[in-house]
Amino acid sequence: MNSDYSYLLLKNLPQTKCDELLLLLTSLVGDPFAHADEGSLIMANKPIKTEEAQHTTAYFTWNKFDLHTELPYIQTPPDFISLYCVNNVKGGYTYLSNVERALHLLSQDQMIELKKPQYTIPIPPHFGADKKQEFKRPLLSIVKGRPSLRIRQDGLVSETEAGMAAAQALQSALDMVREAIELEPGSLIIINNHLSAHGRAPFRPTFNHEDRELHRVYLIEDVNKFGKNYDPIHRRIRGF
């Protein structure tokens, strides 16, 4: 896959041995890994009826997931996030926004703000991290001439008002260029996590075997980018 594309969608894949298929196909793009605090290499994005699910937005909830990039609160976020659709419910849209298209809608001054290391993106509660592990970072950087975005709006803080205004303008721009895809069982989407933001429409959970279920794998092109935080035996990263 040419990693300049913001996403790749494959349809009508076999629906047996789907996790083996998911790992096999996505390994062509990068090395699968997970964050040690979150769980398995293949995560099931499926509603779980808990008290926590009412107050947060995560892989186990069914509320709207605003456009974001994956793991924006860690030092080296995944290069790609892949989602294989095991099952979907009506209206269970996946949102995608092309970062370059969105950035065209911003001013030079806003771009300058986004590149300043003035933003704190809170770590979600299910990671069990404390505030001390949160760092100030830029939302936008340029890597080999292409943009690389990290964004998650809920709880985002900036040191300055101009920084916050630029982050809000960015989120509106991402919303304006958004497309919606209703993944079908047997579809696999591989999303470039630098060049694309993703999200999800709110949907009605069933809490049974008919529920929406996407299997998710994170990929990194070069595990050496993780440095000491990476455990190659278990394919896990630690820390933030």
Ligand X SMILES: O=C(O)CCC(=O)C(=O)O
Q: Does 31 bind ligand X (CB under 6 A)?
A: no
Q: Does 62 bind ligand X (CB under 6 A)?
A: no
Burial class (CB in 10 A: 0-12, 13-18, 19+), 37: middle
- Asked if 188 contacts 194 with a C-beta cutoff of 8 angstroms, the reply is no
As measured in angstroms, the least distance from the Cβ of 51 to ligand X is 20
Q: Does 59 bind ligand X (CB under 6 A)?
A: yes
In this structure, which amino acid lies at residue 187?
Answer: S
Q: Which is nearer to ligand X, 59 or 230 (CB)?
A: 59
Residue 53 gets which letter from DSSP? G
Subset of residues 74 to 103 that bind ligand X, contact rule: CB under 6 A: 94
Beta strands in the chain (DSSP E): 7-10, 31-35, 43-45, 65-68, 80-87, 94-98, 119-120, 136-137, 140-143, 146-149, 157-158, 179-181, 188-192, 196-200, 213-220, 230-231, 236-237
Q: Report d(CA 160, CA 158) in Å as an integer.
A: 5
Q: Does 215 bind ligand X (CB under 6 A)?
A: no
Q: Which of 5, 17, 44, 14 is nearest to 217 (CA)?
A: 44
* Per-residue interface string for the shown chain with ligand X, residues 174-213, x marking contact by CB under 6 A: ------------------------x-x-------------
Residue 169: which of Fe ion, ligand X, none does it interact with, CB under 5 to 8 A by kind? none
Subset of residues 144 to 173 that bind ligand X, contact rule: CB under 6 A: none
Residue 59: which of Fe ion, ligand X, none does it interact with, CB under 5 to 8 A by kind? ligand X
Residue 116: which of Fe ion, ligand X, none does it interact with, CB under 5 to 8 A by kind? none
Q: Which is nearer to ligand X, 98 or 110 (CB)?
A: 98
**Alpha helices, DSSP H only, in 89-232?**
99-103, 108-114, 161-176
Residue 152: which of ligand X, Fe ion, none does it interact with, CB under 5 to 8 A by kind? none
Q: Which of 174, 18, 172, 35 is nearest to 84 (CA)?
A: 18
Summarize as ranges the residues that interact with Fe ion (CB under 5 A). Answer: 70
Q: Report d(CA 5, CA 3) in Å as an integer.
A: 5
Residue 174: which of Fe ion, ligand X, none does it interact with, CB under 5 to 8 A by kind? none
Q: Which is nearer to ligand X, 167 or 214 (CB)?
A: 214
As measured in angstroms, the least distance from the Cβ of 223 to ligand X is 21
As measured in angstroms, the least distance from the Cβ of 145 to Fe ion is 26
Q: Which is nearer to Fe ion, 80 or 119 (CB)?
A: 80
| Residues near ligand X, by CB under 6 A | 45, 59, 65, 70, 94, 198, 200, 214, 216
